[in-house]
């Protein structure tokens, strides 16, 4: 059932995934649903909704990623990092979260689904000092773009970009972007079967 729905959604969004990748994506939803009953990892309870609201909501960002090394800040159970890592095995993803139960879930997903390009880190973002900076800093969890830029300013490499995944975009939020950062692009995303606004903001530090 989920596998058939995933095939349909991928076709609608022109995203290609191998059979193995599709099995991993469905496996992720299955594990998330199972663990969620005990650990309360997401407010979405229905696996079919998880496929739309978590997996497809993450995958539609994939065509816009530039570079090899990414960090997903405040990733929760691994969103959007794990679906993006499954779809992009040639890229590296660090999944950062401060809650141990979320990190344990991510590590179990990595082990069971054999995802070799993710590293889970338990830390608060402001305390995390990577040895190597990132081509992309991704987040769909921050309350505001201002907070994301303030707390994550030390993470991108010289030519790195911030990828802020947002629902609705308000003028107030856009005008409160801190000095020293520029919006490069604002992209309207379409998620199959989701009748809600979705946006991707790409931002950079001013040189």
- Cα separations in angstroms, 57 against 9, 36, 128, 171, 192: 11, 18, 26, 23, 9
Is 94 annotated for ligand binding?
Answer: no
Q: Would you say 200 is a known binding-site residue?
A: no
Q: Residue 97's beta-bridge partner residues? A: 122
Is 74 annotated to bind a ligand? Reply is yes
State residue 101 phi and psi, 5-degree precision.
-65, -35
- Cβ neighbour number for residue 121 with a 10 Å cutoff: 16
- Run of H or E including 57: helix 57-59
Torsion angle (degrees, nearest 10) of CA 59, 145, 131, 116? -10
Residue 69 assigned as binding residue: no
**Integer Cα distance of 23 and 152 in angstroms:** 33
CA-CA distances (angstroms) from residue 142 to 24, 74, 75, 169, 199?
27, 7, 10, 13, 14
Is 125 annotated to bind a ligand? Reply is: yes
Alpha-carbon distance of 145 to 133, in angstroms, equals 20
The single-letter DSSP state of residue 146 is H
Q: Detail the residues annotated as belonging to a binding site for S-adenosyl-L-methionine.
A: 74, 79, 125-126, 140
Q: Residues marked as binding? A: 74, 79, 125-126, 140
């Amino acid at each position: 059932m989920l596998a058939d729905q995933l095939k349909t959604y991928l076709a609608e969004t022109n995203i290609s995934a191998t059979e193995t990748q599709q099995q991993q994506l469905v496996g992720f939803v299955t594990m998330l649903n199972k663990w969620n009953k005990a650990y309360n990892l997401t407010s979405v309870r229905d696996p079919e909704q998880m496929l739309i609201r978590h997996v497809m909501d993450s995958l539609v960002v994939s065509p816009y990623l530039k570079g090899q090394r990414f960090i997903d800040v405040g990733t929760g159970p691994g969103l959007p990092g794990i679906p993006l890592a499954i779809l992009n095995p040639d890229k590296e993803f660090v999944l950062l979260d401060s809650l141990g139960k979320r990190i344990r879930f991510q590590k179990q997903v990595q082990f069971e689904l054999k995802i070799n390009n993710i590293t889970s880190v338990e830390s608060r973002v402001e305390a995390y000092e990577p040895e190597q900076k990132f081509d992309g800093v991704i987040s769909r969890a921050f309350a505001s773009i201002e907070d994301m830029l303030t707390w994550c300013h030390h993470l991108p490499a010289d030519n790195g970009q911030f990828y802020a995944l947002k629902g609705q975009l308000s003028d107030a939020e856009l005008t409160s972007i801190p000095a020293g950062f520029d919006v490069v692009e604002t992209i309207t995303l379409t998620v199959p079967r989701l009748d809600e606004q979705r946006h991707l903001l790409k931002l950079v530090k001013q040189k």
